[in-house]
Every structure is written in C-alpha cells, then in structure tokens.
Structure 1
Amino acid sequence: MAWEVLSIFGTIAFAISGAIVAMEEEYDIFGVYLLGVVTAFGGGAIRNLLIGVPVSALWEQEMFFQIALVSITIMFLFPQRLLRHWPLWGNFFDAIGLAAFAIQGALFAVKLNLPLSAAIVAAVLTGAGGGIVRDLLASRKPTVLRDEVYAAWAILIGLIIGLKLVTGDIGLYVLFVVMTALRIISYIRRWRLPFKKLRNP
C-alpha cells in the first residue's frame, strides 16, 4: 500500500515540478507536458537501467502516466495570479517528489535483495534523476549538483531503508513526512554542503 501511495505522491509532485519549471522558462504547452512527464518518470528509468530492470517496465504504469498528465493539465490551467511564488511552489513539490521517489527507489532495491550500496544509489537516482533531466532540459544547473542539501536526504533515506531501520507502512509514511519537511527546511534556511571556490573573488 505504501509503495502505491508514495508512487502517486511522487508522480504528482514531480509532474507539477516539471510543469512549473517549463512555465518559468516560458515553454509552450508541448514543452510543459514533455518536461512534466520526463521529470516524473526520468528517475525511475535511470534507476531501472542501473539495477538491471528493463526500462520497458515503465510502460506498464499506465495509471501513473494518466495521473501525471492530469496533474500537468491542472497546473497549466491554474490561474496565473495564484502562482506568483512559482519558485517556492516548485521547491515544495520537488521536496515531496524527492522524498517519495527516494523511498520508492530504496524499497525497489531491497525487494530485489540488492546490497546496501544499491539501495542508496537507487534512492538517489529515483529521487533526483527526474529533477536532473528536468534541469538539463531547462538549461539549468541541476539542483543535486549545487552546494545546497538535496541528494544528501536521498542518501539518508537509502541508508535507513537499506539497513531496514524503518519497516511497515506507517514507518514509511513517517519517514516520507520527515524527509519532505527536512528538504523544505534546508531550502528555506539555505543549508549548504561544504564546497570550494576556485575562482578569484
């Protein structure tokens, strides 16, 4: 049950996130739908390639494609005056998608009896892969490569699930809420990972 619920949350959140970025870049309606769908399913496709699951498995998720298309349509038709704070909304939905898909990816690896390292990689790629493709198509620096805390939350999720510290639907829901909140807080408070500048001030 948790798997399906998190998949729905992640699909809606990343589809909307991709649509928002496309509208920020003033893409036409085709670009909005393309970026929304790629954001929602890109991470899963990359994950499947690396852990040996056929990418064609994505085409079996017809319901999730329909959910993504409906979410993008609603966002495209949403009154513009209510979307004045697009960056904030975009990061909010991105946080939901990151947490939901990172958990889903880690669960996928654990279900296949893969090692801890695979659970971490699956969490990062599923949670951040779609966002990376989205940002590249929008000619932006991928969020996961910035100095802000982003992929670290997916790594933590992979560790927690890979070590089976959280089990059961309720535990997974709590983990989802906590990680979403941490990602939002890290964005609002501008938490940063260590980095080094090579350019002169």
Structure 2
Amino acid sequence: MNWDVLSMIGTIAFAVSGAIVALEEEYDILGVYILGIVTAFGGGAIRNLLIGVPVSALWDQGIFFQIALLAITAVFLFPNNLLKHWQRWGNFFDAIGLAAFAIQGAVYASNMNHPISAVIVAAVLTGSGGGIIRDLLAGRKPTVLKAEIYAVWAIIVGAAIGLKITTSPFELYTLFFIITALRVLSYTNNWKLPNRSLNPINIKNTFKM
C-alpha cells in the first residue's frame, strides 16, 4: 500500500503539534525544532528498535524530515492569531496521522511475522509514541494516557492486523477511515476511559451528588 500522502499529512500534523507545545512552554527555537521532530519521528524510532528494524532506516525518510522541518519553521514564523485555529483542524489531521501511522507500524510488525502482542505494540508506538515523548520533554502528563481516548484506537488497529482480520488493501483503507472517524468522534464528544483517583479531593468530588 502507498501511504506516502497520508504519512505526509500525519508527519506535518505531529511536527506542528510538537512545535506548538514547545511554543506554549516558551521554548527557544532549538527546543521548538527538537519537540517537533521528536513528535513526528520518535514513535517510529522506538518501534524500529523493538521489532528489529535497523534504526538507520529512519534516515531513509529524507523527504519527510524536510517536510517536518518546513512545517516547524512555518509554525515558528506564523502570527499567534493564525495558530489559534490549529486546535480545530489540528485534531482532524492528527486523527489521520494516528490512523495512518498505527496501520503502518502494525503492517511492519506483521510482515516480519511477529506475534500479535508485538503487532499491537508497534501500532501503538508508531501512532502515539511521539506524542508521549513530546509531553514528557515538555514536562506534561502524557495526554495519550490521561485526557483522551487515543492509544485505544491504535490498539484496535494492531489487533485487527495481528489477527489477520484486515489483510487486503481495501480492508486496510477501510480500517484507516474507521479509525480516523472514531478518533474524530472521541475528541468531538469528549469520550474518556474510566479512571480512579487516590486523591481524597478527587474521590470526594467523584461521589458527590
């Protein structure tokens, strides 16, 4: 399957999201570029390490690095009033990136005949690993693990591909559109996973009628 266009959109979305987080944390220009690049490529790099793909394969994506650098530069130069609109459209492009990258990671692992557990991990890391690294470098609690349903969609991708439920190009594209739609619905409707807190204040508020 040719995922170049979708990967390009996902790369731009992730690079821009990393750059914006860096600007929100008032990082200098070097920090903006580092967070942008890490968000776009960090998940794929960790995936490669875990499933046995040479890390050097990351450097074969020259065009994607150039696109990411251009996107980060644009964010740094854009007026603040234009960046305010990113939250609306950024989530949509991020959903496309999540679906495309998660499927890519799962297909990579599946083609190497790894077990389903490795396929799921590859999908999650490729789709959301960069965002986790970004939040940690920015001193934030990873959004993926706390605020929104995000990594769950990557887990579904990994399970579907690892169990051979989706194998043909048509089925994979269908899976891509389904995951993108679910991600859009999850942030539009503010879906959240169940959680518990050991903080007495939060427990009190939880049971307060």
1:20 and 1:90 in contact (8 A); partners too: no
CA 1:144–1:14: 2 relative to 1, 3 Å:
same
Aligned residues: 201
1:33-73 Cα deviation digits (max 9, x unpaired): 11111111100111111112221221121121112112222
Per the normalisation by structure 1, the TM-score is: 0.90
CA distance in 1, matches of 2:113, 2:18: 32
Task: Percent identity, please.
Answer: 69
Q: Which residue pairs with 1:48 in the alignment?
A: 48
CA distance in 1, matches of 2:67, 2:174: 24
CA 1:170–1:2: 2 relative to 1, 3 Å:
farther
CA distance in 1, matches of 2:51, 2:192: 30
1:111-135 Cα deviation digits (max 9, x unpaired): 1111111111100011111001111
CA distance in 2, matches of 1:174, 1:110: 18
1:6 and 1:104 in contact (8 A); partners too: no
Q: Which residue pairs with 1:103 in the alignment?
A: 103
CA distance in 2, matches of 1:104, 1:127: 9
How far does residue 2 in structure 1 lie from its aligned partner after superposition?
2.6
CA distance in 1, matches of 2:76, 2:182: 28
Q: Which residue pairs with 1:114 in the alignment?
A: 114
2:75 and 2:83 in contact (8 A); partners too: no
Structure 2: state its 5+ residue gaps. Answer: 202-209
Q: Which residue pairs with 1:78 in the alignment?
A: 78
How far does residue 170 in structure 1 lie from its aligned partner after superposition?
3.8
**Between Structure 1 and Structure 2, whose CA radius of gyration is higher?**
2
How far does residue 191 in structure 1 lie from its aligned partner after superposition?
0.8
Q: Which moved more, 1:150-159 or 1:176-185?
A: 176-185
Question: Is the aligned partner of 1:180 residue 2:162?
Answer: no
CA distance in 2, matches of 1:79, 1:92: 21
The two structures, once aligned, show a CA RMSD in angstroms of: 1.9
Q: Which residue pairs with 1:32 in the alignment?
A: 32
CA 1:138–1:93: 2 relative to 1, 3 Å:
farther
